Amino acid sequence: MAISQPIMMEEVTELQSYLAVPRDITLIAHRNPDGDALGSALGLRLYLEKKGHFVKIVMPSESPNIFSYLPHFYDVIVFDLRHDDARAALKEADCIFCLDFNGLDRVDKLGATIQQSRAVKVLIDHHLDPEPFVDHMFSDTEASSTCELVYNFIEEMGDAHLIDEKIGECLFTGLITDTGSFKYNTRPNTYNVAAKLKLAGVDDYKLNDTISNSLKPKNLKLLGHCLANRMEIMEEYGAAYIYLTKKDYSDFNIQRGDTEGIVNYMLMMKSIKVAAFITQQPSIVKISLRSKGDISVQKIASENFNGGGHKNASGGAQYGSLTDILDKFKRIIPDYLPKIEV
Ligand code: 5GP
Ligand code: MN
């Protein structure tokens, strides 16, 4: 099977000449950055700096500390903590790269700042249904991750030789986190990119160990609580959900990133095709959705929960009480999953 080449050549040629002189470039990814958002931004930063550009990274909100091994992790300008600096970094940029998101609502109030900016805007992303708010779009919804696309972008720019171990570590991080360590979302090109990054010196064993085996006792206790006390199974539809209340957040001292991955446990049950993780946040209720095979949780998230994402992994949020969203989830599931005889 041919390895797909996701990046469009004409777009790259235009950017090659635009980026032939040093530019002030700001990179931004989605709120609640994950391994792919961080890895793509930090990896692209190192590459652009090697090319002589001046690069800043803005994230709408803080990043989980498990990714603090990534170079320049602590140099990210976090909008929630530094409103003015984040806005200035976008306003003063010649060029803005939007990474791992494809709709301006994913970067909170910074969406308006991006829209008003006169910078050349470039998008590199793999989510479904991209919005047309940029000048150059590298969107490939078949890609495992934005990191996979950043690799191909650098390659198409003619600069694969600039990818060193550090850039490789950043990009490999997104490959690992967005594929669950190569369990889903892969295509031949994903492995091709992984192989090239490994050749560049990436120690994938060490990276996997750092990312996967980083839990603290409180994380496992929280997981136990979720599975034992907060999980409901809708056996007749092959759906399951876990919810967390405000009190759970304080009882378990839950911090950013502590609930990462819990939603996936429900899919370990053979009969479960859709899993939801529903949490009461200070002002909204957030829902994380996962599915198996052909069932699209992107459809469920966009049609019911102001959200989106990918076919098998999506999210959304709404105002209202935890009970409201739990009731809604239970009510709409029969519209998406056929009833099974149990
Ligand atoms: P998670 O459940 O891990 O927060 O997110 C899963 C996927 O859905 C990610 O690709 C993420 O970008 C996307 N996603 C999560 N929350 C939202 C949301 O509120 N809106 C949209 N459009 N996508 C989301
Ligand atoms: Mn991603």
Say what angle helices 165-178 and 35-50 make with each other, to 10 degrees: 160
Rounded to the nearest whole angstrom, what is the distance from the C-alpha of residue 308 to the centroid of ligand 1?
Answer: 6
Q: Which ligand is nearest to the CA of 288?
A: 1
Q: What is the pLDDT of residue 3?
A: 40
Would you give the distance in Å from CA 260 to the centre of its chain?
A: 12
Arithmetic mean of pLDDT, 133-145: 96
* Ligand 1 contact via 240 beta carbon (within 6 Å): no
Single out the residue of 42, 56, 310, 311 nearest to residue 150, CA to CA.
42
Q: How far apart are CA 86 and CA 81, in angstroms?
A: 9
pLDDT tier for residue 201 given thresholds of 50, 70 and 90: very high
Domain edge (last residue) among 175, 194, 212: 212
CA of 146 to the centre of ligand 2 (A): 5
Type of residue found at 136: H
Which residue's CA is the nearest one to ligand 1's atom 19? 316
Question: Please, which residues have CB within 8 angstroms of residue 248's CB and are 6 or more apart in sequence?
Answer: 225, 230, 254
DSSP per-residue codes, 72-107: TGGG-EETTT-HHHHHHHHHT-SEEEEES--SGGGG
Q: Distance between CA atoms of 93 and 26, rounded to whole angstroms?
A: 6
Predicted confidence (pLDDT) per residue in 284-319, tens digit = 999 999 999 999 999 999 999 999 999 999 999 999
Task: Pick the atom of ligand 1 nearest to 32's CA.
Answer: 4
Quote the number of domains for the chain. Answer: 2
For the record, the structure tokens of 315 come out as: 């999210």
Distance CA 297, CA 292 (A): 9
Same domain membership, residue 158 and residue 31: yes
Does position 7 have pLDDT exceeding 50, yes or no? yes
pLDDT value, residue 141: 95
Work out the average pLDDT over 230-236: 98
- Kindly state whether residues 175 and 232 are assigned to the same domain: no
pLDDT at 103 over 70: yes
Q: Considering only CA atoms, which residue is closest to atom 14 of ligand 1? A: 315
224 and 181, same domain (yes or no) = no
Write the CATH number for 235. 3.10.310.30
